[in-house]
Amino acid sequence: MPDTLTTVFGDQIKRVIKISKAPTAINENNVYQEGDQNVLSIIDEMVNHLLLPGSSLDGMKNLEELMDKANSGKACLLLVEHYSNMDLSIVSLFARMAGGRGQEISDSIIAISGMKLNEDNPVVAAFTGAYSKIVICPSRSIQDMDPEKDKEAIARANAINRAAMKSLIRHKYKGKLVLVFPSGTRYRPWEPDSKKGVREIDSYIRSFDYMCFVTINGEILHVQQTDMMNDAVSKDIIRVTVGPVIDCNEFRNKVLAETKDDDKKQAVANSIMDELEKIHTAAEPERLKLFSDQ
C-alpha cells in the first residue's frame, strides 16, 4: 500500500482540524475567505517533508513583474497546472522560498476554489483554509444538475457564483494575483478530459489585464480514485516554472484571429492548456537531470 496523506501526516491533520476555522457550508456571504496563517505553517511543514534537494521556482522575475502590474492597479492572473491538492501549497511556499519579494507575492494570491473543497470533507476544508480564496460552484457541477429536480440547488449555486463574481471584482484591482486552474479540476490519468481547459476560463482572460502561466514539474501528491485524504504521497524534486508576463487581450485576440473552431471560448481554453504543456515539457529535462547529479 502506498503512503498517503492520512498515514504520513496524521499528527499534522489532527493539529489542523483542531485550529481550523474554515466554513464547511458555503453561501453568498462567505465566498471570500482569508487564509489562516496558523494552518499555513503546518502545510508548509508537510510540503517541505516531501521535497527533495533541487526543488525550486524558476521565473521569479516574471512573478515580480506581474506583482508590479497588480500594484499599479491592473487585474492580474496566475494560470496554474493542476495535478493535486498541493499545487496551491507548492506555488505559495516556493514563492516565499525564492526570497526577494516572495512573501509579498505569496500574500497577494487569491485562489479561485470549487465549493466541494469546503463542503465534501471537513479535513480538506481545514487544509484549504490556509489560503485566501474566492469560492465558486464550478459550471461542471451545475451542468450535472437536473433543471427540474435540482431547482433549489441550482438557485443556490447561481447565488454563490454571483456573490463570487462581485467579490472578484472588488479584489482584483487591489494588488492581488488571482490564481486559477484552467482545467477546473485535478488531472486524473484515467479521465483524459480532466486535463482539458474549461470554457469559462475565457471569461477570466477577457476581464483581466495581464497573466503568467505557471507549471509544476514533479509530483509529491498523487490523486487516487478514493477520498482526497487518501491521495498517495511521495518525495520528489519539484520545479515550479513561471512564464513571462502576457497581455491578456493580446493573447486572446491572437487566438481568436487564428482559430477555425466555432467554439471560440473553448479555443481560448485549449490554447492556454497548450501553452502550459509547452512550458511543462521544456522544464522536465532539467528537472530529471537533477536526479542524475545527486
* Contacts for 191 with CB less than 8 Å, ≥ 6 apart: none
Beta-strand runs (E) in 116-247: 133-136, 177-180, 210-217, 221-222, 232-233, 239-242, 246-247
Per-residue pLDDT of the chain (294 residues; tens, 9 = 90+): 789 999 999 999 999 999 999 999 999 999 999 999 999 999 999 999 999 999 999 999 999 999 999 999 999 999 999 999 999 999 999 999 999 999 999 999 999 999 989 988 888 898 899 999 999 998 778 888 878 888 888 899 999 999 999 999 999 999 999 999 999 888 888 888 888 999 999 999 999 999 999 999 999 999 998 888 889 999 999 999 999 999 999 999 999 999 998 999 999 999 999 999 999 999 999 999 998 776
Taking the C-alpha atoms of residue 255 and residue 74, their distance in angstroms, rounded to an integer, is: 22
DSSP letters of 138-152? -HHHHHTS-TTTTHH
Taking the C-alpha atoms of residue 179 and residue 176, their distance in angstroms, rounded to an integer, is: 9
Taking the C-alpha atoms of residue 194 and residue 173, their distance in angstroms, rounded to an integer, is: 31
Instruction: State pTM to two decimals.
Output: 0.95
